[in-house]
Amino acid sequence: MNDIVSERLHVALRPPKHRVERRAIGWWAIQSALITVPLMVGAIVAYVLWGSDSWWIILIVVAAAIVLVLGVMVEPLWRYRVHRWETTGTAVYARSGWLVKEWRASPLSRIQTVDALQGPVEQLLGLSTLRVTTASSYGAIDIGRLDKATADRVADELTQLTEAIPGDAT
């Protein structure tokens, strides 16, 4: 029995073992701030324009402040605890989410393309997203918030591994 078949027979489903880069916490905080800060500013503007006599405006300001704190302080830390990834000689594993958690695994034989992507904020933080496109109707597996060097290395390793697997991944 060859090594790949032997390894496949001994693979057990388990959570992926690698955490994303710690700088991901900053990325998620920035992402949340871009949504929650305008919400807070809008609530404060409403408070100033319509006065402090309206209890519902005060309630909106308090709710916006809570959403801001949760989005910038709690959500990034929670995501950091949840997000994990791993590649083996047989599959790619990814776990993500914070309210709704997603755990995905794809055998190397199903991989069609491997890309390392960087948006502008990711570039500033030295982060990258590894996108593994598979022959699946569900879509690609994105492993976000990796160190750029790690994403490039893993993309290269996965490309080499998938080239060695016969077939067309369909």
Q: Are residues 62 and 107 in the same domain?
A: no
User: 148 lies in a domain?
Assistant: yes
* Residue 43 domain boundaries: 26-79
Kindly report the CATH number assigned to the domain that includes residue 127. Answer: 2.30.29
User: Per residue in 4-14, pLDDT tens?
Assistant: 444 444 445 66
Identify whether the C-beta of residue 24 lies closer than 8 Å to the C-beta of residue 150.
no
Least confident range from 14-18, 112-116, 129-133: namely 14-18
Shared domain for 107 and 67, answered yes or no, is no
Query: Does 89 map to a domain?
Result: yes
Q: Which range has the worst mean pLDDT, 51-65, 83-97, 118-132?
A: 51-65
Among the candidates 79, 98, 123, a domain finishes at 79
Pull the structure tokens for residue 72. Answer: 């910038």
* Residue 144 included in any domain: yes
- Residues 94 and 158 both lie in one domain: yes
On whether residue 127 sits in a domain, the answer given is: yes
In angstroms, rounded to a whole number, what is the distance separating the alpha carbons of residues 141 and 107?
11
C-alpha–C-alpha distance, residues 94 and 144, integer Å: 10
pLDDT confidence band for 117 (50 / 70 / 90): very high
Residues 56, 33, single domain; the answer is yes
Residue 146 sits in the same domain as residue 116: yes
Within a domain: 12:
no
Same domain assignment for residues 155 and 105 = yes
The one-character DSSP state at 49 is H
Residue 61 lies in a domain: yes
If asked whether residues 36 and 62 sit together in one domain, one would say: yes
Q: Please state the pTM of the whole predicted model.
A: 0.80
Q: Which of 60, 79, 98 is the last residue of a domain?
A: 79
Average pLDDT over residues 50-78: 90
Q: What is the mean pLDDT of the chain?
A: 87
pLDDT at residue 35, rounded to an integer: 93
- Looking at the structure, do residues 39 and 53 belong to the same domain, yes or no? yes
Residue 156's pLDDT is what? Answer: 93
Q: Do 152 and 90 sit in the same domain of this protein?
A: yes
Mean pLDDT of 109-133: 93
- Domain count for the chain, please give it: 2
pLDDT at 146 > cutoff 60: yes
pLDDT of 124 reads: 93
Q: Let me know if residue 17 belongs to a domain.
A: no
For 29-33, 53-57, 155-159, which range has the lowest pLDDT when averaged over its residues? 53-57
Residue in this structure with the two tokens 């990834």, named with its chain if needed: 85
Give the pLDDT of residue 168.
66
Show the tokens assigned to 82: 């949840």
Residue 71 domain flag: yes
